[in-house]
């Protein structure tokens, strides 16, 4: 029973640490192009014609798998979108996708 309690505490701690990391990752790696709100109304976002992640059609068109691929492998169409494979964890990628989904109007 003691082991179970320790495991639960560790899981809760890891989950809260993970939740704190995603906004920091977004701010440091994504926000300068995609904006704090995902609308891409930044200097780079406008210049690169980055799509608005809050739009219903964007949210439908971009599946979780498609987002995961571009986060990990980067974009062939826009070299500003760098690959993050090996730089952030799979849990962080999943967290970023959930964060992006939260932009849905």
In this prediction, residues 71-99 reach a mean pLDDT of 95
Predicted local distance difference test score (pLDDT) of residue 12: 41
Long-range Cβ pairs for the range 82-87 (8 Å, 24+): 84/29
CATH class for the region spanning 22-101: mainly alpha
The yes-or-no verdict on residue 72 having pLDDT over 90 is: yes
Task: Please state the domain extents for the chain.
Answer: 22-101
Q: Which strand (E) or helix (H) includes residue 24? A: helix 2-25
pLDDT in tens, 9-67: 444 434 434 445 999 999 999 999 999 999 999 999 999 999 999 999 999 999 999 99
Who wins on pLDDT, 94 or 17?
94
**Whole-prediction pTM value?**
0.79
């Amino acid at each position: 029973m003691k082991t179970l309690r320790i495991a639960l505490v560790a899981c809760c701690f890891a989950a809260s640490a993970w939740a704190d990391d995603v906004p920091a990752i977004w701010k440091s790696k994504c926000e300068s192009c995609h904006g704090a709100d995902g609308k891409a109304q930044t200097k780079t976002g406008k210049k690169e014609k980055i799509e608005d992640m809050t739009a219903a059609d964007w949210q439908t068109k971009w599946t979780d798998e498609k987002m995961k691929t571009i986060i990990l492998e980067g974009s062939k169409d826009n070299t500003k979108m760098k690959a993050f494979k090996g730089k952030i964890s799979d849990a962080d990628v999943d967290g970023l996708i959930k964060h992006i989904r939260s932009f849905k109007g």
